[in-house]
Each structure stands twice: as structure tokens, then as C-alpha cells.
């Protein structure tokens, strides 16, 4: 018997195409894969329309076989609103970074959530502007260095890390808000489950769902991938506690 016959055959992923441009160890790639897997599992690939942000994931649709529209920086929720209302049978997902969603796009996300728009938000919080080379994000931790806070973020000048789930949890409309992470297998599986739940909420027409994923940016944090996941686990979760904020 040939050895290869012993290797179990996994189904070819339908959605996730791999070969991403992300830096080694970057959470974006893991998250793309999870999203692809969940979409395959739910059998909704052909119904998905994903709104890409401006950020490192601007090329997400190169790796995920969906229809999609790339919006201007921060405006994905506004585009998603229109797409979902016109094509209610579609599954509309926005995929946004923390600069995109929590700085320039804060307005759009709050109002889309407050209107209870029936789409799903995948929010990647890596505490930095990855794409533009490591500037401070609204989510950068106090004391954390970035190219625009070379001596660390001080609350006196830059305020405090913005907690998106907690902020949106003050609104009536959202049905599901959860913060998850990718720093170990257990949490990767939790993230997978959260993505599935958020998409099911949309399939069942329940309402606005957002999954915040604490991720990393080894390149701009100037860490190895291992160190970066340690940072997520030990430092980021202190400021951004994991858990379900809303499930109704």
C-alpha cells in the first residue's frame, strides 16, 4: 500500500484560495482561511458579497472566491448597507481593519450598527495601521510604540484605546457582538465559531453582527510572530477583554 493512501482526503476548499501576500505569521491570512472554511461549511459562497477595506486586507478578494466591492477607507458599512438592502438574498460581509473601522470609518460603523443593518462585520483589531507602515491606530495600547508615537502612546496627547464592541454595545439594534482572538488553537476555533454564528444571524435575518478579532502585526510591531501572539494574549486582551458582549 502506498503511504499517500493513508493520508485522509480533505475536501478542496471552495472559497479560500490561499497564497496570500501577508507577512509571515500575520493573522489576516489565518482569518481569511477561517472565513473561507465557514462559508464553505454553510454552503453560501455564491451568495456572499464582501466589502473590502483599505488596509492590508485590500486584496482579500484575491484569496476568497466571492463577489466583492472595495470601498474607500472606512466606508465599507455604507456600501454594505446599500448592497444588502438591494440584494437581501445575498450574504454581505464587511472585512475591516482598526484604522478603517475605528478611525476614519467610526461614523459609518456606528450608524450602520444603530440602523441594525443586516450584514456581518469582521473587524480585525491589530492595534496599528499595518498597511501604511505602522502608525498609531485608535486601538494602539497606552505606551505602545508606533511610527507616529515613537516614544509610546500617551493618553494625554492621543487619548485611550477605543473599544469598539463596548461602544457598539450601547446601541439597541445590534444582535451579536463578540471579541475573539487568534493567539492559540483554542481561540482560533472560537473565532471560527463566532464567524459562523455571525453569518447564521444574517442567514436567519436576525440583525447586525460584528466579530472583533484581536490580531497581530509582527512586521510593524517589530516582533517575531511568536512574540506578537504572546503580546496579543498577554497585553491586548487586558485592554480588550475577550467575550460575548451582545447575543440576542
Partner 1 sequence: MGKDVLTGVHFLSGNHACVEGAIAAGCRFYAGYPITPSNEIAERMSVRLPQVGGIYIQMEDELASMAALVGASWGGAKPMTATSGPGLSLMQENIGLAAMTESPCVVVDVQRGSPSTGLPTLVGQADVMQARWGSHGDYEIIALAPSSPQECFDFMIKAFNLAEIWRVPVIFLSDESVAHLSERVVIPPKEEIKLVTRKRPSVPPEKFLPFKPGSDLVPEMPIAGEGYRVHVTGLTHNEKGYPDLSAKVHNKLVPRLVNKIRKNADKIVEYEELFTEDAEVILVTFGISTRICRDVIKRARAEGLKVGLFRLITIWPFPEKRIMALAQKIKAFVTVEINLGQVAIEMERIVKERCKTFLIPNAGGAVHDPDEVFAEVKQIVSGLVE
Ligand X SMILES: Cc1ncc(C[n+]2csc(CCOP(=O)(O)OP(=O)(O)O)c2C)c(N)n1
What's phi and psi for 86, nearest 5 deg?
-80, -30
Task: For residues 178 and 176, give the distance between their C-alpha atoms in angstroms, rounded to a whole number.
Answer: 7
**H or E segment to which residue 210 belongs:** strand 209-214
Cβ-based burial of 110 (10 A; exposed 0-12, middle 13-18, buried ≥19): middle
Phi-psi region at 132: left, alpha or beta (left = phi > 0; alpha = psi -120 to 50): alpha
228 binds ligand X (CB under 6 A): no
Q: Specify the residue, 29 or 102, whose C-beta has the smaller distance to partner 1.
A: 102
By a kind-dependent CB cut-off of 5 to 8 A, residue 219 interacts, out of ligand SF4, Mg ion, ligand X, none, with ligand SF4
By a kind-dependent CB cut-off of 5 to 8 A, residue 52 interacts, out of ligand SF4, ligand X, partner 1, none, with none
By a kind-dependent CB cut-off of 5 to 8 A, residue 77 interacts, out of Mg ion, partner 1, ligand SF4, none, with none
Task: For residues 225 and 231, give the distance between their C-alpha atoms in angstroms, rounded to a whole number.
Answer: 10
Q: Specify the residue, 21 or 115, whose C-beta has the smaller distance to ligand SF4.
A: 21
Q: Specify the residue, 133 or 243, whose C-beta has the smaller distance to Mg ion.
A: 133
By a kind-dependent CB cut-off of 5 to 8 A, residue 228 interacts, out of ligand X, ligand SF4, Mg ion, none, with none
By a kind-dependent CB cut-off of 5 to 8 A, residue 136 interacts, out of ligand X, partner 1, ligand SF4, none, with partner 1
Judged by DSSP in three states, 42 sits in helix
74 binds Mg ion (CB under 5 A): no
Q: Which residues bind ligand SF4 (CB under 6 A)?
A: 22-23, 26, 28, 56, 126, 130, 217-220
Sheet of 209-214: strand order equals: 67-70, 48-52, 91-97, 120-125, 209-214, 176-181, 243-247
Task: For residues 181 and 125, give the distance between their C-alpha atoms in angstroms, rounded to a whole number.
Answer: 9
Q: Specify the residue, 70 or 114, whose C-beta has the smaller distance to partner 1.
A: 70
35 binds ligand X (CB under 6 A): no
Per-residue b or e along 120-143, where b marks 16 or more CB atoms closer than 10 Å to that residue's CB: bbbbbbbbbbbbeebbbbbbbbee
202 binds ligand X (CB under 6 A): no
By a kind-dependent CB cut-off of 5 to 8 A, residue 22 interacts, out of ligand X, Mg ion, ligand SF4, none, with ligand SF4
153 binds ligand X (CB under 6 A): no
Q: Which of 214, 174, 179 has the alpha carbon at shortest distance from 194?
A: 179
56 binds ligand X (CB under 6 A): yes
Q: CB of 18: closest distance to ligand X in angstroms?
A: 19
Q: CB of 105: closest distance to ligand SF4 in angstroms?
A: 17
Radius of gyration of the chain (CA): 18
**Chain positions contacting Mg ion, by CB under 5 A:** 97-98, 126, 130
**Chain positions contacting ligand X, by CB under 6 A:** 53-57, 73, 97-100, 124, 126, 128-132, 137
Amino acid at each position: 500500500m502506498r503511504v499517500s493512501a493513508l493520508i485522509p482526503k480533505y475536501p478542496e476548499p471552495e472559497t479560500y484560495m490561499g497564497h496570500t501576500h501577508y507577512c509571515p505569521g500575520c493573522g489576516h491570512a489565518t482569518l481569511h482561511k477561517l472565513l473561507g472554511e465557514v462559508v464553505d461549511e454553510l454552503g453560501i459562497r455564491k451568495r456572499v458579497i464582501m466589502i473590502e477595506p483599505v488596509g492590508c486586507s485590500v486584496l482579500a478578494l484575491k484569496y476568497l472566491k466571492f463577489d466583492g466591492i472595495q470601498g474607500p477607507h472606512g466606508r465599507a458599512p455604507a456600501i454594505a448597507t446599500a448592497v444588502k438592502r438591494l440584494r437581501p438574498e445575498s450574504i454581505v460581509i464587511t472585512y475591516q481593519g482598526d484604522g478603517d473601522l475605528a478611525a476614519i470609518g467610526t461614523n459609518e460603523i456606528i450608524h450602520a450598527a444603530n440602523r441594525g443593518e443586516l450584514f456581518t462585520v469582521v473587524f480585525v483589531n491589530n492595534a496599528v495601521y499595518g498597511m501604511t507602515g505602522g502608525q498609531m491606530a485608535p486601538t494602539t495600547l497606552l505606551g505602545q510604540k508606533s511610527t507616529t508615537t515613537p516614544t509610546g502612546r500617551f493618553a494625554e496627547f492621543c487619548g485611550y484605546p477605543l473599544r469598539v464592541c463596548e461602544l457598539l454595545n450601547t446601541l439597541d439594534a445590534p444582535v451579536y457582538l463578540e471579541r475573539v482572538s487568534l493567539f492559540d488553537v483554542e481561540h482560533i476555533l472560537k473565532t471560527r465559531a463566532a464567524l459562523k454564528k455571525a453569518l447564521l444571524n444574517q442567514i436567519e435575518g436576525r440583525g447586525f453582527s460584528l466579530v472583533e478579532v484581536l490580531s497581530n502585526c509582527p512586521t510593524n510591531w517589530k516582533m517575531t510572530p511568536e512574540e506578537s501572539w504572546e503580546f496579543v494574549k498577554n497585553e491586548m486582551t487586558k485592554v480588550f477583554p475577550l467575550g460575548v458582549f451582545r447575543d440576542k
